[in-house]
Amino acid sequence: MGYIEGLLGKNEKIVIRTRRHWIVLAKSFLGNLFLTIVIPLGAIALNFALPGIGLLALLFLVFPGALFLRDYLVWWHEEYLVTNHRVIQAEGVINKHVIDSSLEKVNDVVLDQSVLGRMFDYGDIEIMTASETGVNKLKLISQPIKFKTEMLNQKDAMNRSAPAAPPVGSRPDDIPALIAGLDALRQKGVLTDAEFQEKKAQLLAKM
Spell out the domain ranges in the chain: 5-20+81-161, 26-73, 172-204
- Select from 50, 106, 58 the least CA-distant residue to 83: 106
Tell me if 25 sits within 8 A of 112, measured CB to CB: no
Q: Does the predicted TM-score (pTM) go above 0.85?
A: no
Buried b (16+ CB within 10 A) or exposed e, 68-104: beebeebbeebbbbbbbbbbbbbbeeeeeeeeebebe
The SS3 of residue 145 is helix
> For each of the chain's 207 residues, which pLDDT tens digit applies?
688 888 888 888 999 999 999 999 998 999 989 988 888 887 777 777 777 666 676 677 888 889 999 999 999 999 999 999 889 999 989 998 988 888 888 888 899 999 999 999 999 999 888 765 556 889 999 999 999 999 999 988 887 776 555 554 555 557 777 788 788 777 766 667 777 788 888 877 776
**CB atoms closer than 10 angstroms to residue 106:** 21
> Domain 5-20+81-161 is of which CATH architecture?
Roll (2.30)
